Amino acid sequence: MNRKTFLFVGIVVALFIAAMAPFIASSNPDGLESAFFGIFGAKEIQGSTLDEEHAEVAEEHVTDITGNDFSFASPFPDYTIEGLAKFGETIAIILGTLLVLVIALGVAKMVQRTE
C-alpha cells in the first residue's frame, strides 16, 4: 500500500469509527466517574445503579474539597451540537477527528521546517 492510499484508508477508517461512536458508546459512568460516585456514596463500587440525587451532591462536595471551581463553556460540550440529537454527536465526533488530523499534520510539518 503506497503512502497516499495508506493515508486515505486510514482517514476512512478513523471517520468510520467516529461516525459509529455515538450509536455504540455506553452512557454508563466511566472508570474514574464510577470510582468517584462509589467513593462518594452515589453508587456501590460493584453495583450498577447510580443514585442521581446523590451524584449531584457528590459533584458539589468535591468542588468544596478541592476549591477548583474553574469552568469553561466548550463549543460542543460532551460531543453534542445544540439542537441536534444523535446526528449532532456524529457530526461533532467527525469534526473532532478531522480537526485532530489537520492539527497533527500541521504540527508535524511545522516542527520539520524548524530543522
Partner 1 sequence: MIIIIRTGESMHIPDAFIPLPQAALYWVIALIFIALSLRWARKELTEDRIPLVAILAAGIFAIQAINIPIPWGTSGHMMGAALAAIVLGSPFAAVFILTLVLIVQGVMFGDGGLTVMGANILNMGVIGGFVGFYSYRAIYPILRNIYPAAFIAGWLSLFIAALVTAVEMAIAGTFPLELGLLSMGLYHAIIGIIEGGITAVAIYLIHTARPDIISEPAGVPS
Site for partner 1, residues 21 to 50, rule: CB under 8 A: 21-22, 24-36, 38-39, 43-50
Site residues for partner 1, window 67-106 (CB under 8 A)? Answer: 67-79, 92-93, 95-101, 103-105
Cα distances (angstroms) measured from residue 115 to each of 83, 102, 108, 111, 112: 46, 21, 11, 7, 6
Mention every residue, 6+ apart, whose C-beta is less than 8 A from residue 5: none
Query: How many chain residues are in contact with partner 1, going by CB under 8 A?
Result: 78
| Nearer to partner 1 among residue 56 and residue 87 (C-beta) | 56
* Torsion sign (Cα): 86, 20, 98, 71: positive
Residue choice 13, 41, 84, 86 for contact with partner 1 (CB under 8 A): 13
**Calpha distance 98→104 (Å, rounded):** 10
Q: Is 23:88 a contact under the CB 8 Å cutoff?
A: no
The least CB distance from residue 83 to partner 1, in Å, is 17
For partner 1, the binding residue among 41, 42, 60, 87 (CB under 8 A) is 60
In whole angstroms, how close is the CB of 58 to partner 1 at the nearest point? 9
